[in-house]
Amino acid sequence: MNMHDRPQAQPGLDWASRNQQWLAAQFAALRGRLARQLRDTSADAEPPPPECGDDFEPALDALTKLFGLSAFERDVVLLAAGVELDSALRRLVGVAMTQAPEAIASTQPTFNFAMQMLTEPHWDALSPLRPLRRWCLIACEGHEAPPRRPIQIDERVLHYLTGVAAMDARLIGLVRCEPVGSIQPDTPQANTIAHALGTGAAALAALGHARSEIEPQRDLARAALACLGANGLWLHARDLPHDPRELAEIARLLDREAALSDAIIALELDRPIEAADAEAHAIALLAHLMGPAIVLNAPEPTRLSRLRQRRILRLEAADAPAAARQVAALRGLSREQAAALAAALRPALRQFNVPAADLRLVVTEALAETQADPALLGPAVWRLCRAAVRGGLDALAQRIDSRVVFDDLVAPPVVTAQLRAIANELQHRPRVHGDWGFAAHNGRGLGTAALFVGESGTGKTYAAEAIASAAALDLYRIDLAGVVSKYIGETEKNLSRLFEAAETSGAILLFDEADALFGKRSEVRDSHDRFANIEIAYLLQRIETYRGLVILTTNMKSALDRAFLRRIRYVVQFPYPDAAARETLWRMQFPADAPLGEVDFAGLARLQLTGGNIRAIALNAAFLAAAASGGRIEQDAINAAVRAEFSKLERPWPGVGP
């Protein structure tokens, strides 16, 4: 079967009418031939079948080309279809069967009958390797020897001959036929796949995605099919039968359906694989299939190596451009809704890489939430887009619920000004980098890195939360224990996964105690030193190219690698709070609803403590007061909490304060 010699699409009802007339004429001509074979002189002479013009190809001729049928095999198909569709031919076959050597009282012809009555017969037409049985064009079942079994046309083939586009019933529920779309792809990837699939039956396009997202792969596959003008037969590996014989039969039916439907098979896998044997079944199916195919979330190259008959093209699907995703998400909305949502989506899609399927849900939910107040559409779209892209990073880092704002910070004005500058950069990156052209002008990475330097408890994490709140972005703290590995190369792999997930979410990354990762590169003494230095270089490169903000905290700036420090845009020094700052911090720790007694805040401010220490003392004092009397938080409870904090810090009591 030449899977690429596909018939051109026929022009609608006009073709259907001509095909029916042509088929009826073919049945009439066959009746005449059979009548003459039976020497039935009473039979009227039938006119020869009509010739086909250049502008018309009947379904039977298309079927003959698709499956490479001989003239005899073509007539067998015509005979089997005729007894189902033409009552006169069925009666004539019944008469002829009683006069045949088998003398069978049946209107269903046997292969022996076809050999006797049709021209240019050949016995190997009944072979399982020939098209009639190989592609299930006819059924030949029974307990007799194969030549004596009745032949019956397959239902799907009968539909095809009559111009009815009905999928094989055995594939319904397993396969979804998706008509060729109107997409006019202009991506090199789509054209590359289309060229590979269109030039050989053994072609297999193995698609993947950096984050295993399925929608970019589906979009790429659909674009390639649109390039070819081919429909898609979509199925999922988890739905495949487990029995090897059933799987082989499904593959044969799929190949036949692809030819009859002018389609290419697209097989999806899950990543990670839900069932251990799903990938094995998918590979077994691909081994059976004879036509070109696309596999999404493709197995690793080593797993596909058994498909030796295949020419495999591996491609990583790129994310669809934001504009294309936006157009798809707004399809079907009114002009007013589409305009309002387009304005709301524009800044959100510059920040968040929302997949096409999730974007449609964002649009639906945003409209439902803001029906009463359309003015809230912009913030709702931003919030929903932000939530839609969290999944990948939530599994790799700790998300911090940022409730701190700049007014909550107790810091010198110069520090606050630096923090606001960082937040302003995040808010205005699309205008500066995109609208003003700085992205194209700057050949280096566009990432923003900030280093927060200060002792533990001086407010570095609080400051990161304030920036995240101002920019309306998620903040993720990176667990160094889950990133740094003693195994060579594993740290680099862990960070690669982290940054790939972060690229989708547009989140702020917070590396606490950065000197553990970005320490000074060592002199190379062995392979471990060499790989450690390679990992540092890799980290510097990823931070520079990450499109979001990376914040690193340390209390030992001198321990950091100099090459790293040169690439930091912002270095913010968090000083130890002075007495005035400490008094402000003390007063801020007790909520308005807290039952606070007479407290000497000025005396407490004389204690050398950081904001982190003060927060811990205030909370401990509240629990001590609640346990003691359930009444007010008095100075005695705070004094007890202060002494406990100094003991925890292994510091002597200073002898000043309360």
Please confirm whether the linkage preceding 131 is cis (ω < 30° from 0).
no
Specify the pLDDT at position 214: 78
Specify the pLDDT at position 561: 67
**pLDDT band per the 50, 70, 90 thresholds, residue 468:** very high
d(CA 269, CA 294): 11
Quick: pLDDT tens for 38-90.
765 444 545 555 666 667 899 999 999 999 999 999 999 999 999 999 999 99
Average pLDDT (404-423) is 94
Quick: pLDDT tens for 561-602.
676 777 788 999 999 999 999 999 999 999 989 999 899 999
More confident residue, 533 or 294: 294
Cα-based torsion angle of the residue sequence 131, 134, 136, 137 in order, rounded to the nearest 10 degrees? 0
Least confident of 43-57, 162-176, 485-499, 548-562: 43-57
Distances (CA, A) of 263 to 253, 268, 380: 13, 16, 41
d(CA 390, CA 474): 9
Distances (CA, A) of 538 to 272, 449, 491, 493: 26, 15, 10, 10
d(CA 242, CA 397): 38
Contact at 8 Å (CB) between 97 and 105? Answer: yes
Specify the pLDDT at position 516: 65
Specify the pLDDT at position 3: 43
Helix (H) or strand (E) holding 41: none
Average pLDDT (416-420) is 96
Tell me which residue of 126, 154, 128 sits closest to 139, measured CA to CA. Answer: 154
Tokens of 594: 């807290």
Tokens of 80: 């089997």
Quote the distance between the C-alpha of residue 87 and its chain's center: 53
Contact at 8 Å (CB) between 13 and 21? Answer: no
Classify the phi-psi angles of 142: left when phi > 0, otherwise alpha if psi is within -120 to 50, otherwise beta. Answer: left
Contacts of 84 (CB under 8 A, 6+ apart): 90, 153, 158
Highest mean pLDDT among 308-317, 437-446, 498-507, 568-577: 568-577
Q: How far apart are the first and last CA of the chain?
A: 94
Classify the phi-psi angles of 224: left when phi > 0, otherwise alpha if psi is within -120 to 50, otherwise beta. Answer: alpha
Least confident of 255-259, 322-326, 403-407, 628-632: 322-326
Quick: pLDDT tens for 424-438.
999 888 778 777 777
CATH 3.40.50.300 fits domain 400-573: yes
Quote the distance between the C-alpha of residue 140 and its chain's center: 44
Tokens of 463: 């400051």
Contact at 8 Å (CB) between 459 and 572? Answer: no
More confident residue, 518 or 130: 130
Distances (CA, A) of 112 to 77, 94, 104, 123, 583: 14, 14, 12, 9, 106
Distances (CA, A) of 209 to 192, 298, 451, 501: 17, 9, 32, 12
Average pLDDT (602-610) is 92
Helix axis angle for 335-351 and 377-388, nearest 10°, is 50
pLDDT at 10 over 60: no
Specify the pLDDT at position 531: 47
More confident residue, 504 or 204: 204
More confident residue, 139 or 541: 139
Query: What's 596's DSSP letter?
Result: B
Pairing of strands 138-140, 151-153: antiparallel
CATH 1.10.8.60 fits domain 579-648: yes
Mean confidence (pLDDT) of the chain = 83
The percentage of residues in the chain with a pLDDT greater than 70, rounded to a whole number, is 83
pLDDT at 557 over 80: no
Contacts of 23 (CB under 8 A, 6+ apart): 58, 59, 60, 81, 85, 161, 162
Q: Same fold for the domain at 176-316 and the one at 579-648? A: no
CATH 3.40.50.150 fits domain 176-316: no
Quote the distance between the C-alpha of residue 25 and its chain's center: 51
Q: CA 387, 393, 396 angle in degrees (round to 5)?
A: 145
Question: Is-above-0.85 flag for pTM?
Answer: no
pLDDT at 7 over 50: no
Enumerate the domain spans of the chain: 12-161, 176-316, 322-387, 400-573, 579-648
More confident residue, 103 or 532: 103
